[in-house]
């Protein structure tokens, strides 16, 4: 059994994968001690870890949206660790059977994974940080910069701006498809212009609940020649699934 883990800024998702089916789904607030206990109980033979962090050569460089500064689970089984948005994009490429796509996760922050010819594109390690492109202004970002996309549209900026969690806004049909949502759509359009993907998959605890029709706004900022399919993935475990897929692939190479 392979354990897929998605360590996010607010929640951690876990599931088991036997190579064909995903089972034993579990979610809990992100906490290292709880995570260690859950891993021990799972008795998994291999582990795929997706984490909301910037990684280079397997090392965490920066994790602005995580509630801890150090991370060492001291695992005794084979494991891989990958950026959460990369795992989301990889899982989406499997599910949609598409070789070239970008996957965008919206939760506490915003991440983007890029899949080219069925492989995750890393650049020098941390390619795809859509949430931290510079939009403008002096609003401080959690990463230490200013005027980044997350300052306008993300879980933490929605909470700061509206005084409520995105979950509550969705439940009351009050989610703000406003000028800040337009900023997000423009940023996605810019990513499409760079990579010309066949599909843009959008998920996460916020992204997976966005009205897919509202995302047609993205096309307003694109030349008519760019027409990728935009898909909302309503699966909170998609990132953990991607981590499990990657762990399975790594086992094949051992």
Q: What is the pLDDT of residues 120-129, one digit of tens each?
A: 999 999 999 9
CA distance 248 to 154: 31
- CATH number given to 2-87+237-252: 3.30.420.40
pLDDT at 229: 97
pLDDT in 10s for each residue of the chain, 254 residues: 899 999 988 899 999 999 889 998 999 999 888 988 888 888 888 999 999 899 998 888 888 888 877 777 888 888 999 999 999 999 999 999 999 999 999 999 999 999 999 999 999 999 999 999 999 999 999 999 999 999 999 999 999 999 999 999 999 999 999 999 999 999 999 999 999 999 999 999 999 999 999 999 999 999 999 999 999 999 999 999 999 999 998 877 65
- Residue ranges matching CATH 3.30.420.40 in the chain: 2-87+237-252, 96-232
**With b meaning 16 or more CB within 10 Å and e meaning fewer, what string describes 124-159?**
eebebbbbbeebeeebebbbeeebbbbbbbbbbbbe
Structure-block tokens of residue 170: 């969705």
Cβ–Cβ under 8 Å, residues 104 and 130: yes
Other beta carbons within 10 angstroms of residue 119's beta carbon come to: 11
pLDDT at 96: 96
190 Cβ contact list (under 8 Å, min separation 6): 133, 221
Instruction: Determine the 3-state secondary structure of 254 from DSSP.
Output: coil
pLDDT at 250: 80
Phi-psi region of 204 (alpha: psi -120 to 50; beta: other; left: phi over 0): left
Q: Give the model confidence (pLDDT) of 155-178 as tens digits.
A: 999 999 999 999 999 999 999 999
Cβ–Cβ under 8 Å, residues 177 and 32: no
Q: Quote the DSSP letter at residue 18.
A: -
pLDDT at 170: 96
pLDDT at 40: 86
Cβ–Cβ under 8 Å, residues 169 and 130: no
Cβ–Cβ under 8 Å, residues 197 and 228: yes
Q: Give the model confidence (pLDDT) of 75-116 as tens digits.
A: 888 899 999 999 999 999 999 999 999 999 999 999 999 999
Classify residue 15 as exposed, middle or buried by CB count within 10 Å of its CB (0-12, 13-18, 19+): buried
pLDDT at 254: 57
Calculated CA dihedral for residues 245, 247, 251, 254, nearest 10 degrees: 130
Domain 96-232 has CATH 3.40.50.150: no
Tell me the pLDDT of the chain averaged across its residues: 93
Cβ–Cβ under 8 Å, residues 27 and 12: yes
CA distance 249 to 167: 34
Cβ–Cβ under 8 Å, residues 132 and 149: yes
Structure-block tokens of residue 32: 């290292």
Taking the model in full, what pTM does it have? Answer: 0.93
């Amino acid at each position: 059994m392979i354990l897929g883990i998605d360590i996010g800024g607010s929640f951690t998702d876990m599931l088991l994968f036997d190579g064909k089916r995903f089972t034993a789904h579990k979610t809990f607030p992100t906490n290292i001690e709880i995570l260690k206990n859950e891993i021990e109980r799972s008795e998994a033979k291999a582990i795929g870890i997706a984490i909301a962090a910037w990684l280079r050569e397997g090392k965490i460089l920066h994790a602005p949206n995580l509630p801890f500064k150090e991370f060492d689970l001291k695992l005794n089984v084979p494991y891989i660790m990958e950026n959460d948005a990369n795992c989301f994009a990889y899982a989406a490429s499997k599910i949609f059977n598409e070789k070239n796509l970008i996957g965008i996760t919206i939760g506490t922050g915003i991440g983007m994974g890029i899949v080219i010819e069925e492989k995750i594109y890393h650049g020098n390690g941390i390619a795809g940080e859509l949430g931290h492109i510079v939009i403008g202004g002096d609003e401080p970002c959690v990463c230490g910069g200013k005027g980044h996309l997350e300052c306008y549209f993300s879980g933490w900026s929605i909470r700061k701006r509206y005084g409520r969690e995105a979950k509550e806004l969705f439940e009351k049909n009050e989610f703000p498809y406003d000028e800040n949502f337009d900023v997000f759509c423009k940023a996605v359009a810019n990513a499409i212009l760079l990579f010309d993907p066949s599909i843009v998959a959008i998920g996460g605890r916020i992204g997976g609940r966005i009205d897919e029709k509202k995302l047609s706004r993205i096309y307003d900022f694109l030349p008519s020649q760019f027409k990728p399919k935009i898909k909302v993935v309503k699966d909170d475990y998609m990132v953990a699934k991607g981590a499990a897929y990657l762990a399975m692939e790594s086992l094949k190479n051992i």
